């Protein structure tokens, strides 16, 4: 089975090709360029160097969320465009589950992506079994305190929100540091999770490939706040009549 995986959920971009249990190709790029500039050339290079074409791909894996709204849309659009002509199956991978998949050992890994407003998209997994301990969701960093105190140690934080977590919880006994260069997402991990999803029948056709943002975009939040304010102002005006 050939699985081509794309990671555009955060500031970095990545592409990997997994052939059965063999990682044929992986590229990780953190050069400050936009994903719209880099992702298609990275995919093209991957296929070229592996001497494959889209006709050889059995499953596409891609981060479906959470993560950067723009980054997710770019990755999903790229994969849809590649998968549509042959109706190739796609795996909508949890960004946080893929982050955990690159780490093994004993203890707990808490995956965190910076969601702004002192929040992180977060989930936690047992390092030995990769059993999920916390569902994907947007949470205030402060709201993780009880989990951090009581989870199995050692505890590691990964993802681009890891620094926020280390700043608050880094001094707690059993919390160990992961070097910043090793905290980011990897397309190879997206491919590994995609393989598991394919094995369990959790892949979808490209037309069913959708993002899972886990919260409203800033524009949607601002619109909801504006409508709520207008509704409240209208009620106040009516009450004064």
Over the stretch 19-73, which tens digit does the pLDDT of each residue have?
999 999 999 999 888 999 999 999 999 999 999 999 999 999 999 999 999 999 9
Which helix (H) or strand (E) element contains residue 202? none
Residue 235: the pLDDT is: 72
Question: Over the stretch 139-178, which tens digit does the pLDDT of each residue have?
Answer: 999 999 999 999 999 999 999 999 999 999 999 999 999 9
Placement of tokens 């926020």 in the chain: 164
Q: Looking at the predicted structure, is the pLDDT value of residue 229 above 80? A: no
Report the distance separating Cα 159 and Cα 141, nearest Å.
13
Question: Over the stretch 190-220, which tens digit does the pLDDT of each residue have?
Answer: 999 999 999 999 999 999 999 999 765 555 4
CB of 144 closer than 8 Å to CB of 122: yes
Report the distance separating Cα 71 and Cα 79, nearest Å.
13
Residue 33: the pLDDT is: 86
Query: Which parts of 86-118 are beta strand (E)?
Result: 89-94, 108-114
Report the distance separating Cα 191 and Cα 182, nearest Å.
18
Judging by DSSP bridges, how do beta strands 22-29 and 13-19 pair with one another?
Answer: antiparallel
CB of 148 closer than 8 Å to CB of 171: no
Residue 223: the pLDDT is: 56
Other Cβ atoms within 10 Å of 85 Cβ, number:
10
Give the mean pLDDT of 118-128: 96
Q: Looking at the predicted structure, is the pLDDT value of residue 225 above 60? A: no
pLDDT interval class at 184 (50, 70, 90)? very high
Give the mean pLDDT of 119-124: 97
Residue 221: the pLDDT is: 47
Report the distance separating Cα 18 and Cα 57, nearest Å.
10
Residue 114: the pLDDT is: 95
Placement of tokens 């490209």 in the chain: 206
**SS3 of residue 158 by DSSP:** strand
């Amino acid at each position: 089975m050939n699985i081509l995986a794309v990671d555009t959920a955060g500031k970095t971009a990545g592409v990997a090709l997994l052939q059965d249990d063999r990682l044929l190709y992986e590229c990780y790029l953190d050069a400050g360029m936009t994903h719209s500039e880099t992702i298609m050339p990275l995919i093209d290079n991957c296929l070229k160097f592996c001497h494959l074409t889209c006709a050889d791909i059995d499953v596409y894996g891609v981060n479906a969320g959470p993560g950067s709204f723009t980054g997710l849309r770019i990755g999903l659009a790229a994969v849809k465009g590649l998968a549509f002509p042959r109706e190739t199956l796609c795996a909508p991978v949890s960004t946080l589950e893929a982050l955990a998949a690159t780490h093994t050992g004993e203890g707990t890994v808490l995956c965190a992506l910076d969601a702004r407003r002192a929040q992180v998209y977060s989930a936690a997994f047992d390092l030995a079994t990769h059993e999920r301990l916390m569902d994907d969701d947007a949470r205030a960093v402060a709201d993780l305190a009880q989990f951090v105190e009581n989870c199995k140690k050692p505890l590691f934080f990964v993802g681009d929100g890891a620094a926020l977590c280390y700043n608050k919880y880094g001094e707690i006994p059993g919390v160990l540091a992961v070097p910043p260069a090793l905290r980011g997402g990897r397309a190879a991990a997206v491919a590994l999770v995609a393989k598991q999803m394919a094995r369990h029948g959790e892949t979808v056709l490209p037309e069913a490939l959708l993002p899972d943002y886990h919260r409203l975009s800033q524009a949607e939040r601002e619109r909801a706040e504006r409508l709520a304010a207008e509704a409240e102002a209208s009620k106040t005006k009516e009450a004064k009549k």
